[in-house]
Amino acid sequence: MKIEHIAIWTKQLEEMKDFYTHYFHGTASEKYINPKKQFESYFIQFQSGTRLELMRRPDLAPGEEPAEGYAHMAFSLGSRQQVDDMTRRFEEEGFQVVGKPRVTGDGYYESVIRDPDGNLVELTV
């Protein structure tokens, strides 16, 4: 198991992309755009294999979820079955499942849980 990516909400998507690619030598993906949700994002790939997801939505309001800053951490589990099994395990052990396993608009198979502090954790392939 490895940390697949960490995500940050931002209002300065292009500036943040330029910052992480320039100073930390990351490589940016093509911009993903979901016009229905007015969502845009880049994945920045680092030499270590870790990725940073930078995300923007124009309707973010201060103090409301989602908010600017830390969004979530994602663990790559290796298979859809492992995502299903871990999601079920977290649910059985009393953790809040906020997103059942599904295929997202950008092609990920994932579920989302909250850790004991309420932080979002994605379980993905």
Question: Does residue 1 lie within any of the structural domains?
Answer: no
35 and 61 both lie in a single domain? yes
54 and 100 both lie in a single domain? no
10 and 24 both lie in a single domain? yes
User: Taking a C-beta distance cutoff of 8 angstroms, is the pair 89, 39 a contact?
Assistant: no
59/5: higher pLDDT: 5
82 and 56 both lie in a single domain? no
pLDDT tens, residue by residue, 63-90:
666 677 787 888 888 899 999 999 999 9
CA of 60: how far to CAs of 4, 51, 64, in Å?
A: 25, 23, 7
pLDDT tens, residue by residue, 45-66:
988 888 999 999 988 766 666 6
114 contact partners, CB below 8 Å, separation of at least 6:
95, 96, 98, 120, 121
60 and 85 both lie in a single domain? no
65 and 91 both lie in a single domain? no
Final residue in a domain of this structure, among 42, 71, 100: 71
**Average pLDDT of the chain to the nearest whole number:** 89
Domain span at residue 86? 77-125
Q: How far apart are CA 56 and CA 54, in angstroms?
A: 7
Total domains in the chain come to 2
Strands 39-45 and 120-124: unpaired
User: Taking a C-beta distance cutoff of 8 angstroms, is the pair 112, 121 a contact?
Assistant: yes
**CATH classification at residue 115:** 3.10.180.10
Phi then psi dihedrals of residue 50, to 5 deg:
-70, 150
Q: Is 7 exposed, middle or buried (0-12, 13-18, 19+ CB in 10 A)?
A: buried
